[in-house]
Structure 1
């Protein structure tokens, strides 16, 4: 792992992702989730159905992919847009190391700002009855990995990565993933929920795909997106050198 992780690249990426503007957005979504959860608990009391609706409908369907967009595209997209990536590529750092390091940072930021608030919200809503809070937190953490890889890839292939990521997150994951049965089977959200369903008790968390299918698809998408992002970065290096 040491050959695929570069501390200096990681530090620069963390600094870029946790700058004032992005940090404000990153804190806003989890804060909103916790405020909603607290208000609902005070007004309606503990209820598994309500907790499931909030954690599944807002946390997993909206908050997690949006945070993934911010962290994944922000890990490399701005450097490519302003041309500063050329200075990074000029350093004696292997291209796969750059991609993997940025992916690790994006995963860490996405998981921290999505899985932890989801866990806390679950405890607020129903005290983790039926392992609902833990199940959704696991799903959020697993989804963070795939989302980070997908949106990091977008950051390397298009200058409009944020727009493309928002379209995917809001239109495909949030809208089509909620109302179109076929689309749900091609959703990172549903693949991650398959693991959450395994962790939670009973059928409080449901997924449109089985556990094995969900795990395989998550691995394929994560590895495939990471590999292709590295390939695109390598071609960008050649273009810059020419």
Structure 2
């Protein structure tokens, strides 16, 4: 990890305009949690709906999209990446440093608010809140890697990523049985089930499968992004 690249990446990521967008989603989650906790619904069911469906299904992928593409796609699009590529740094180190910033930022902006929202909704009972937080950490890291790769591959990373997050993760991956095995959201839910008390959280994907796929996707996306960035020349228009 290169500290200079990390510092510059974090500074660019949390620019004045982008930080408002990044903060809007977790703030909305907390507001919804505050408004919903006294509506008369069963506390556990409410926690599943907000922490599982809303947070894991929407908050985490959207945050991962904004952060994952933001750490590199903007630099490629405006051409400023050439200054970084001109430095005697291995391309894999650039990618892994930017990924570290993306993962840390995604955790801060999604896992932390999920934990706080969970305490508001359900407290610490049955390890449900801790389970969803662990699930958010795992899925957030995977989303960061996937969307960083997308930022290297295409100038339309935000549009493509938004379509993936909303259509595949929120709709198809959340409800179509056969597709759930290939959903990052469901992998995170598997970890939530493993951490929570027996029967408190139910996941359609087995823990072993989820862990294996999380590692494969995370490592694979990072490695491929390094390869693609290595093939990006200083005069490239791609």
Cα pair 1:46 1:125 within 8 Å, conserved? no
Taking only aligned residues, the RMSD between alpha carbons, in angstroms, comes to 1.2
**CA drift at 1:183:** 1.3
**CA drift at 1:84:** 0.8
**CA drift at 1:29:** 0.7
Cα pair 2:85 2:234 within 8 Å, conserved? no
- SS in structure 1 at match of 2:233: helix
1:19 to 2:9 alignment: no
**CA drift at 1:239:** 5.5
**1:217 and 1:45 mapped to 2: Cα distance?**
35
2:174 is aligned to: 178
2:76 is aligned to: 80
Per-residue Cα deviation, 1:90-139 (whole angstroms, up to 9, x for no partner) = 01111111000000000000011000000001100011221111100000
**CA drift at 1:238:** 6.7
1:219 is aligned to: 215
Per-residue Cα deviation, 1:43-80 (whole angstroms, up to 9, x for no partner) = 33761111111111110000000000000000100000
- What is the TM-score when the length of structure 2 is the normalising length? 0.96
**2:18 and 2:178 mapped to 1: Cα distance?**
34
Cα pair 2:107 2:137 within 8 Å, conserved? yes
Cα pair 2:63 2:109 within 8 Å, conserved? yes
- 1:165 equivalent among 152, 161, 165: 161
2:39 is aligned to: 43
Which of 128-137 and 96-105 deviates more?
A: 128-137
- 2:137 equivalent among 128, 141, 151: 141
**CA drift at 1:193:** 1.2
Which of 199-208 and 108-117 deviates more?
A: 199-208
Query: Structure 1 stretches (4+) deviating beyond 6 angstroms?
Result: none
Cα pair 2:29 2:117 within 8 Å, conserved? yes
**Structure 2 CA distance for partners of 1:213 and 1:239, relative to 1, 3 Å:** farther
Query: Structure 1: which 5+ runs fail to align?
Result: none
Query: Structure 2: which 5+ runs fail to align?
Result: none
Structural mapping, 1:28-107, within 5 Å:
28-44=24-40, 47-107=43-103
**1:210 and 1:21 mapped to 2: Cα distance?**
40
Cα pair 2:174 2:186 within 8 Å, conserved? no
2:124 is aligned to: 128
**1:161 and 1:191 mapped to 2: Cα distance?**
23
**Structure 2 CA distance for partners of 1:38 and 1:46, relative to 1, 3 Å:** farther
**CA drift at 1:165:** 0.6
**2:114 and 2:43 mapped to 1: Cα distance?**
16
**CA drift at 1:196:** 1.1
**CA drift at 1:208:** 1.5
Which of 127-136 and 101-110 deviates more?
A: 127-136
Cα pair 1:191 1:209 within 8 Å, conserved? yes
